[in-house]
Chains A and B, each alone.
Chain A
Amino acid sequence: KQEVTQIPAALSVPEGENLVLNCSFTDSAIYNLQWFRQDPGKGLTSLLLIQSSQREQTSGRLNASLDKSSGRSTLYIAASQPGDSATYLCAVPTGANNLFFGTGTRLTVIP
């Protein structure tokens, strides 16, 4: 059974710092991995989708990497801003075409 874990569960950083969020999964037979952002009480915003054939995917200040063999993905956020404060979720597809979500990392960027 797939397990998706995100470390740390919560993170506070001062504005301007670069940071890395980690996601690990136990079943490496995935064809992609997706990172989402969720603001309090809101739905999900897709940030990056990285295919299993890719090692990295970039969008603005965000960079996601995927290492299937080790069952890990990282989300790198450069020059963090208070507006980046949110919960970040990674998710992998299941065989039934839905998503299995990680435990989430709650990020707070302090002005």
Chain B
Amino acid sequence: GAVVSQHPSWVICKSGTSVKIECRSLDFQATTMFWYRQFPKQSLMLMATSNEGSKATYEQGVEKDKFLINHASLTLSTLTVTSAHPEDSSFYICSAPSWETQYFGPGTRLLVL
């Protein structure tokens, strides 16, 4: 089956720094990728849709200037959390569709001190 990777798997940073998370589709191309966020003991919530060659689409309540998304190629999307604060600490998961099936990355745990 299709494989999606994420890097890094976990990151700890100081408040005010920026953190970049990569999402790669390893054996298929994806013109669209999705970024989800999951707070402790809660379900996954869609943050934004990453579109190759055009701007990302953000869900209501998600700040586009804080969560920068760049779909650099058909196999790579990056999410940059700018000026991270402790409330941004969460589990970030990306997914990419292939033939009507969503394939999920293993997730990135972000802890902002």
Contact = CB atoms under 8 A, between A and B. Distances in A.
Given A98-B34, A98-B102, A104 B43 contact: yes
Contacts of B8: none
Which of the four size classes fits the interface of chain A? 20 to 34
A76 interface: no
A48 B46 CA distance: 21
Contacts of A34: 102
**Interface residue tally of chain B, by bracket?**
20 to 34
A50 to B, nearest CB: 12
Contacts of A106: 41
Interface string B65-94: 000000000000000000000000001010
A49 B101 contact: yes
Contact of A102 (B32, B43, B102): B43
A101 B32 contact: no
B51 to A, nearest CB: 11
Contact of B104 (A32, A44, A49): A44
A49 B98 CA distance: 14
Interface in B37-61: 41-46, 49, 57
Given A49-B101, A96-B49, A98-B95, A43 B107 contact: yes
A44 B104 CA distance: 6
Given A42-B107, A43-B107, A99 B43 contact: no
Nearest to A102: B43
Interface of A: 31-32, 34, 36, 41-44, 46, 49, 89, 93, 96-104, 106
